[in-house]
Amino acid sequence: MRKLMVYMLLSADGYFVDAAGKMDWAKDRPDPDYQAFAEKNASGDAALLFGRVTYEMMASFWPTPMAEQMMPVMAKRMNALPKLVFSRTLTEAHWHNTTVIKRDAVEAVRELKQQEGPGMCILGSGSLTSQLAQAGLIDEYQFMINPVAVGSGRTTFEGMKQRLELELTQSRAFGNGKVFVCYKPVA
């Protein structure tokens, strides 16, 4: 059975995007320890899952020369990995190795989890994360908390109808002020 994890950048006050829908606050301060961690954390072979909005944002950056120059290891991984984008409106995907899934995300991910193959990772995509969390399909939550408060925006679990109990499995602080926390759902 395939595992599904979430990796989400958060502000210190718990938002993944600010009130304008932007993430420009998530910039990295130079820190070799953090950079090595980020590159190692992205070294797996998981399929990447996105909602349409996050997909369009990622597809506008990672395949560019700027991404290759700024983060060559991460850009290579992001561009090479298989990507699934859940959207009812997107007609085609131009980013290499991307499949558009137009049907219900919960149903599709439930089927994907039953297949053999590498794990899957949701990057960003708050609405997708919330839907799949409510359905009990997420096995692990990884949050990178950034040392900035944005005041308002969207939360990862926006729209959740029931409580989700989590157990801390790992944490790590970095010199640039970022803190990594990893949770699994309590059974």
E-only strand ranges, the chain = 4-11, 15-18, 47-51, 83-86, 98-101, 120-123, 140-146, 153-155, 166-173, 179-185
What pLDDT score does 27 carry? 81
Q: Show the domain range for 165.
A: 4-185
Number of domains in the chain: 1
Question: What is the CATH classification number for the domain harbouring 128?
Answer: 3.40.430.10
Bridge partner residues of 52 (DSSP): none
How does pLDDT run across 84-96, given as a tens digit for each residue? Answer: 999 999 988 999 9
What pLDDT score does 44 carry? 80
pTM: 0.92
What pLDDT score does 5 carry? 96
What pLDDT score does 78 carry? 92
pLDDT digit string (tens) for the chain, length 187 residues: 899 999 999 999 999 999 998 888 988 788 999 988 988 887 788 999 999 999 999 999 999 999 999 889 889 999 999 999 999 999 889 999 999 999 999 999 999 999 999 999 999 888 999 999 999 999 999 999 999 999 999 999 988 888 999 999 999 999 999 999 999 999 8
